[in-house]
Amino acid sequence: MAMTGVLRPGHAQVRVLDLEKSITFYRDVLGLVETGRDKQGRVYFKCWDERDHHSYIIRQDDRAGIDFFAFKVLDSATLDRLESDLKAYGLATERVPAGDLMETGERVRFELPSGHLIELYAEKTAVGNGLGLTNPGPWSKDAEHGIAPVRLDHSLLYGPNIEGVRKIFMEVLGFFLVERVLTPEGDANAAIWLSCSHKVHDIAFAEYPEPGRLHHCSFLLDSWEKVQRAGDIMSMNAVSVDIGPTRHGITRGSTIYAWDPSGNRFETFMGGYQPYPDYETITWTFDNFGQGLDYPQRKLHETFLTVVT
């Protein structure tokens, strides 16, 4: 599959309540690699197997949640074209100058009908994964530090008008709809899973009355055993777990949902099938949403629908 537009999730900037406690959590428990700190007080992290400078940024605030979620695009010409397409669609865009984020080029920022800020960018400094590009080993020294996910995989965001959001991602940004959950009435989408790649999803949205809310950022692990190990590490460090370890019906992924010290939910995730853009969308009726979320228990956990930051 030729990827000529939006390539993949690039970074998320998340607000935390206690910066030092959060640095310790993300570095030592989740096992991210710290790559920098800037004059604004933001701390930058990457997963061990990611090549770019950062994928997860935290800053201190009196309210937890997400500032923005970003996608990397193919090149500067693609960034210009997508900005033009967004404007033609009727969306206001903002050019954030290069260097505003460490080691990152110009970003195009726009707001979704759900109240979320999305960014597109083409350039970020490559720092590698510690293995080199000639005769590399299968893992680095950071691969066994903490939970040690291999990449930032996706985010689930809650807000209003996800139908408007779906149209922007599909009609302007070139994503395709992989799966959806219908409302109880069956006449609209309650949640949507969208992909720009060969992954089962790169971003997802659920209908929610309050705008701009974060449900979770998800970090990819490469086996079910690593998900189980993540659960062990969470218990060893008294991390508050929401759901799991279990398996989704939606996406078929295996998962644990838990909360960071500020109450931001995160996911350790693996698996899922590999869709192509010509695949037909999979539909879940609302009465089977519980099975879609937690396939073994067939349970729609209340926290999944109500606890967001």
- For the annotated catalytic residues, the residue numbers are 154, 201, 216, 248, 257, 267
DSSP state letter for 29: I
Residue 272's region, left for phi above 0, alpha for psi from -120 to 50, else beta, is left
Count the neighbouring beta carbons within 10 Å of the beta carbon of residue 265. Answer: 23
User: Which of the 8 DSSP states describes residue 142?
Assistant: G
Amino acid at 162: I
Q: Give 124's DSSP letter.
A: B
**Assigned token pair, 91:** 């969306």
Residues 6+ apart with CB under 8 A from 90: none
Q: Are β-strands 213-220 and 265-271 bridged in parallel, bridged antiparallel, or unpaired?
A: parallel
What is the spatial distance between Cα 96 and Cα 258, in angstroms, rounded to a whole number?
32
d(CA 170, CA 84): 16
